[in-house]
Structure 1
Amino acid sequence: MEQYGKILLIAMPAFLALVLFEKWWGWRKGKDTVRPMDMISSLSSGITNSTKDVLGLSIAIITYGWLVDHVAIVHVRSTVWVYIIAFFALDLAGYLTHRIDHEINFFWNSHIIHHSSEDFNLACALRQNISIFIRVFTVFLLPAALLGVPSQVIAVVAPLHLFAQFWYHTEHIGRMGFLEKIIVTPSHHRVHHAINKEYLDKNYGQIFIFWDKWFGTFQEELPGVKPVYGITRPVQTWNPIKINFQHMALMMKDAWRTRSVKDKLRVWFMPTGWRPEDVAEKYPVYKIEDVYAFDKYETKTSTALLTCVWIQISILLLFVSYFFGHVAQIKAPGIFFYGAFVFLYVYSFTELMDGNSYAWVWEMLKAVFGIGLILYNGDWFGTNQYSPLINFVLIGYFVLSFVSFLYFSFWEERDLSTQPV
């Protein structure tokens, strides 16, 4: 956890800089693909995902170390070739896992967050799940385990493999010549994120595109078919925590409501989107039928509200940076209280972004929780080593933030209610 936190301290500002650069580039070129609220929602999703990872809130039924110990035929030495083998093995495992996420109802819940943005940009690459608590597909690393690739090598290569999937989430890079035949390019991934019938559930590759070509899931970007992004059952919220569990909630309701015992079991393992016939008829769910005739999710936004939200995400990044840099010092159970605070923070201000009238209640809970942590610990998780004044600054922030939420919930909301979306 400590080592991963240090990696994220380097990765986070780099990703943020690239996201903001893409926003500037789009503005400069007259093709802005980044809506502010959508971008902030994506950033907040990345924060919840990385916080969950640092906390280690998931377990593997079969660990890679166990596989190596029990199935290795040989044990390759740690040379450059071992790292190359590990990279290919991770990519094949990524393709298979990605495909299952798309094609089986239960597993789609863990991936829906990544496709929930109705834009396609670098920020949406940061939309990653917090809903996986049990990892079941370590077995897909069997090729590496058979060769005895050490666990330490997988641990080094895995973050690099993940970060290498960031760059191709953009509309600003066109076709890339011969590279289109080898690696996943922005063109390939635009197809993957599209909900056009020509593109749906294609191009599952993460780094190499030849897996899709070999296994029959490849689709090139067609000149006359502009990709339309999102999911066919729109999430209709900026709140990444809600998005992470929307599909699961629907499946649970469907399993409860259907009269068929068989369907109560089938709903989890049928193709993504399948619902029992009796439930679908009685409890219909909106689904986009014409991808060229639907409105993207948007909320009423004033300059003051947008400024407030930018301030909130900026301060959250400071909180998270401190957390990632001091995980070893904070230790358990403090890290879990800190993680809970981060999640409450995200839930609160994304509810404000959605225009929910009770967002101030969540902000009040955040303020009480934050101030309570300071009073209980005597400072903010060791900040007295830098300056005792930090405690007063943070308490002042909590109070002012709560007051601002009251303003947007009870005063500016009335002004905005007369404005068109």
Structure 2
Amino acid sequence: METYGKILLIAMPVFLALVLLEKWYGWYKGKDTVRQMDMISSLSSGITNVTKDVLGLSVVIISYEWLVNKIAVIHLTPVVWVYVAAFIALDFAGYWVHRIEHRFNIFWNLHIIHHSSEEFNLACALRQSIAEIVKVFTVFLIPAALLGVPAKVIAIVAPIQLFAQFWYHTQHINKMGWLEKVIVTPSHHRVHHAINKEYIDKNFSQIFIIWDKLFGTFQQELQGVPPVYGITRPARTWNPIKINFIHAWLLIKDAWHTKGWKDKFKIWLMPTGWRPADVAEKFPVYKIDNVYHFEKYAPESSNELVVWSWTQLTILLIATSYLFANIAAIGSPGFFVYGLFIFLSVYSFTELMDRKRFALLWEILKNILGVFIIYKTGGWFSNSPSVIQLNIPILSWLLLSTFITAWFVFIEFKPAKAPRFFITQND
């Protein structure tokens, strides 16, 4: 937990710098692929995901360490080739987990956030799940466990394998020659994120594209078929916490409303998107029919709202970094309270980005929690003199944040005219 937090203290500013660099490069080249509010939504999603991981908010049914202790035939010494083998084993497992997430209703909810952006850029790579409360896919590492690959090797290689998937989320790199035959490239992954009928549910590989070619799920990017990004049943919100559970909520409602008892259980393991016929007819859900003519989600956003959203995100990044740097000192249950503050922060300002009036309620709840933290701990999770000196600035910020959110809700969002919530795919 503490070690992963320290790794993220280095990784987060690097990822943010690369996201901003891509934004600048797109502007410079006249091909901007990054909408600001979409970027803020993606970055806030990344914050919720890393906070959840650092706090260990998930249950592992079978840990890899337990598995290797029980079934290892031999025990390998952690030398260089063992790390290479572990990397390949993780990539093989990642392919099948990824493919399962796309193919079954119950597991799609764990991955929908990653595909929810209607853009394709480095920022959308940071849209990662907080919905995976129970981890069930350790079984795909059975080959590594049989060979006795040490658990500490997997623990080192896993973050490397994950971070190595960041760079290819871009439209600014074209096909890469012979590398297209070996590794996952931006071209391959553009196909994976596309909702065109030619591309959907293809290219599940994470690092080595060979898995798709071996198991029949490979599709190259076609010259005359530009990828269109997103999900076929659009999320229509900037709130990443809502997006994480939007598919599960639909499944729960469908299971409740369907008259067929068989369908109440069947729906969970059916292919992604399947719905019982009776609820599909009675409770239709909007689905994109023509990928080249649909309206992207784009609530009206004044310059003031954009600046305020960036301000909230910046403050949140600072607060999150403080948590990761001091997680041992904050301790339990303090760091869970801190995590709640982060989640309320994200929920509040992304609801405001959606122009939702209840954003003010969430903002008030978040700021009450902030005041309570200072009251109970003497400072911001610490009673040291240096932290206590920050009490007045923090309390002032919480008060100011409440008033500014109220200004947006009661003044700017006044229904003087119908807000525009979408832009066409051709805009």
TM-score after normalising by structure 2: 0.97
Alignment of 1:96-245 (within 5 A): 96-245=96-245
How far does the alpha carbon of each residue in 1:257-312 deviate from its partner, in whole angstroms, 9 at most, with x for none?
Answer: 11111101100000000000111011100000100110110011111111111100
Counterpart in 2 of 1:31? 31
State how far apart, in whole Å, the 2-side matches of 1:290 and 1:194 are: 13
Which is further off, 59-68 or 153-162? 59-68
Q: CA 1:67 to 1:419, structure 2 compared with 1: closer, same or farther past 3 Å?
A: closer
Residue identity matched to 2:398: F
Counterpart in 1 of 2:379? 379
Q: Please tell me the root mean square deviation across aligned C-alpha atoms, in Å.
A: 1.1
Superposition deviation, residue 382 in structure 1: 1.7
Counterpart in 1 of 2:54? 54
Superposition deviation, residue 420 in structure 1: 5.0
Is the Cα–Cα contact under 8 Å of residues 23 and 34 in structure 1 kept in the other structure? yes
How far does the alpha carbon of each residue in 1:202-253 deviate from its partner, in whole angstroms, 9 at most, with x for none?
Answer: 0000000000000000000000000000000000000000000000000001
State how far apart, in whole Å, the 2-side matches of 1:94 and 1:333 are: 33
- Aligned-pair identity in percent equals 63
Residue identity matched to 2:118: E
Superposition deviation, residue 73 in structure 1: 1.4
Superposition deviation, residue 36 in structure 1: 0.2
Residue identity matched to 2:168: Y
Counterpart in 1 of 2:259? 259
How far does the alpha carbon of each residue in 1:30-64 deviate from its partner, in whole angstroms, 9 at most, with x for none?
Answer: 00000000000000000000000001011211110
State how far apart, in whole Å, the 2-side matches of 1:16 and 1:155 are: 24
Is the Cα–Cα contact under 8 Å of residues 256 and 264 in structure 1 kept in the other structure? yes
Structure 2 segments unaligned to the other structure (5+ residues) = 422-427
State the secondary structure of the residue aligned to 1:225: coil
Alignment of 1:262-341 (within 5 A): 262-341=262-341
Residue identity matched to 1:133: I
State how far apart, in whole Å, the 1-side matches of 2:182 and 2:383 are: 49
Is the Cα–Cα contact under 8 Å of residues 60 and 134 in structure 2 kept in the other structure? yes
Counterpart in 1 of 2:347? 347
Counterpart in 2 of 1:356? 356
How far does the alpha carbon of each residue in 1:351-392 deviate from its partner, in whole angstroms, 9 at most, with x for none?
Answer: 000000121111111111111111111110126342422011
State how far apart, in whole Å, the 1-side matches of 2:63 and 2:419 are: 54
Is the Cα–Cα contact under 8 Å of residues 93 and 140 in structure 1 kept in the other structure? yes
Is the Cα–Cα contact under 8 Å of residues 251 and 267 in structure 1 kept in the other structure? yes
Residue identity matched to 2:29: K
State how far apart, in whole Å, the 1-side matches of 2:275 and 2:420 are: 35
How far does the alpha carbon of each residue in 1:102-146 deviate from its partner, in whole angstroms, 9 at most, with x for none?
Answer: 000000000000000000000000000001111011010111111
Superposition deviation, residue 330 in structure 1: 0.5
Is the Cα–Cα contact under 8 Å of residues 383 and 390 in structure 1 kept in the other structure? no
Is the Cα–Cα contact under 8 Å of residues 384 and 390 in structure 1 kept in the other structure? no
Superposition deviation, residue 76 in structure 1: 1.4
State the secondary structure of the residue aligned to 1:296: strand
State the secondary structure of the residue aligned to 2:413: helix
Residue identity matched to 2:350: T
Residue identity matched to 1:315: I
State the secondary structure of the residue aligned to 2:414: helix
Equivalenced residue count is 421
Counterpart in 2 of 1:404? 404
Superposition deviation, residue 417 in structure 1: 3.5
State how far apart, in whole Å, the 1-side matches of 2:416 and 2:139 are: 52
Is the Cα–Cα contact under 8 Å of residues 120 and 170 in structure 2 kept in the other structure? yes
State how far apart, in whole Å, the 1-side matches of 2:359 and 2:246 are: 19
State how far apart, in whole Å, the 1-side matches of 2:192 and 2:288 are: 17
State the secondary structure of the residue aligned to 2:219: coil
State how far apart, in whole Å, the 2-side matches of 1:240 and 1:272 are: 20
Residue identity matched to 1:291: V
Counterpart in 1 of 2:425? none
User: Which structure 1 residue ranges, 4+ long, deviate > 4 Å from structure 2?
Assistant: 418-421
Residue identity matched to 1:293: H
State how far apart, in whole Å, the 2-side matches of 1:291 and 1:331 are: 49
How far does the alpha carbon of each residue in 1:314-334 deviate from its partner, in whole angstroms, 9 at most, with x for none?
Answer: 000000000000011101000
Superposition deviation, residue 179 in structure 1: 0.3
State how far apart, in whole Å, the 2-side matches of 1:224 and 1:387 are: 58
State how far apart, in whole Å, the 2-side matches of 1:44 and 1:261 are: 39
Is the Cα–Cα contact under 8 Å of residues 171 and 190 in structure 1 kept in the other structure? yes
Superposition deviation, residue 415 in structure 1: 7.6
Q: CA 1:370 to 1:392, structure 2 compared with 1: closer, same or farther past 3 Å?
A: same
How far does the alpha carbon of each residue in 1:150-206 deviate from its partner, in whole angstroms, 9 at most, with x for none?
Answer: 000000000000000000000000000000000000000000000000000000000
Is the Cα–Cα contact under 8 Å of residues 382 and 388 in structure 2 kept in the other structure? no
Superposition deviation, residue 418 in structure 1: 5.9
Residue identity matched to 1:368: I
Residue identity matched to 2:134: I
Superposition deviation, residue 414 in structure 1: 2.6
Structure 1 segments unaligned to the other structure (5+ residues) = none
Is the Cα–Cα contact under 8 Å of residues 302 and 416 in structure 1 kept in the other structure? no
State how far apart, in whole Å, the 1-side matches of 2:218 and 2:336 are: 42
State how far apart, in whole Å, the 2-side matches of 1:339 and 1:387 are: 19
Residue identity matched to 1:36: Q
State how far apart, in whole Å, the 2-side matches of 1:386 and 1:108 are: 46
State the secondary structure of the residue aligned to 1:47: helix
